[in-house]
Amino acid sequence: MKRTVFFISDGTGITAETLGHSLLAQFDTVDFDQITIPYVKDEEKVRDAVSRINKAAMSDDMPPLVFSTVINDDIRVMLSQSKAFMLDIFSSFLKPLEGALGAESSYSVGKSHSIVDDQSYKVRIDSVHYALDNDDGARTRHYDMADVILIGVSRSGKTPTCLYLALQFGIKAANYPLTEDDLDDLNLPKALREHRSKLFGLSIEPERLAAIRTERKPNSRYASINQCESEVRGAEAIFNRFGIPYVNSTHASIEEISTKVIEAAGIKRRLA
């Protein structure tokens, strides 16, 4: 089965996409053609959006799904006249929340993704800079400033996880790649020993690791299944020997890995 899905917003559309993707992921048997239409703020934009929705309805011979986070009442009314199954996210939750809180919503566009204040912005930028400066073991002298230090074999997902932790939560995350020398000795590198309480490991299935490395260096020893199996086995032996918590990143998204790191390591988020 195939269905067309629209994410429509008078802002970036990130909120509509995030909630929509979470819900649609529950339907494995349906193939979704997903279309995002951001910044629907005026009559011309909404008419264009309605036209695209109606064309999809005719083409598919069934109503598209529309996840909407539009605030403006007039635009929402126009959207509701399209040939779609509407999921109006804000109207479903804001009105009940107003009743529960005894307060009116500000009905501000894009508020959840705005820079709330200068301090939050500074925390985010400082954390991103820290992640970049302390990536891949390039520098180790500032590990005392880290909230967490991710360790694992090359291409196990350390760098993107560090950047996500920094950008999303303001967490200062460094990462260090375990080399063949470390894995042969089954010992912690000297730079990590005094920071054991901050260490968190990422593991990965050897087959997946080989596929990732093959994209970078095809037909190399680095990407061979034997090398990947040996490195993963050695990394997990180090994790177990030194009591370092770790997760398997093979089938997890960056968001899922980051959440597991925060929960398991007991890290405090600087940004909500």
Write out the binding residues for ADP. 152-159
Q: Which residues are annotated as a binding site?
A: 152-159
What is the distance between the alpha carbons of residues 218 and 110, in angstroms, rounded to a whole number? Answer: 44
Which amino acid, one-letter code, is at 138? A
Other CB atoms within 10 A of residue 42 CB: 12
CA 27 to chain centre: 20
What is the distance between the alpha carbons of residues 60 and 219, in angstroms, rounded to a whole number? Answer: 44
Q: Which of 2, 23, 19, 270 is nearest to 147 (CA)?
A: 270
**H-state helical runs in 171-249:** 180-185, 190-193, 206-216, 225-241
Which amino acid, one-letter code, is at 133? D
What is the distance between the alpha carbons of residues 128 and 250, in angstroms, rounded to a whole number? Answer: 24
Residue 150, SS3 per DSSP: strand
What is the distance between the alpha carbons of residues 270 and 172, in angstroms, rounded to a whole number? Answer: 9
Structure tokens at 193: 């020993």
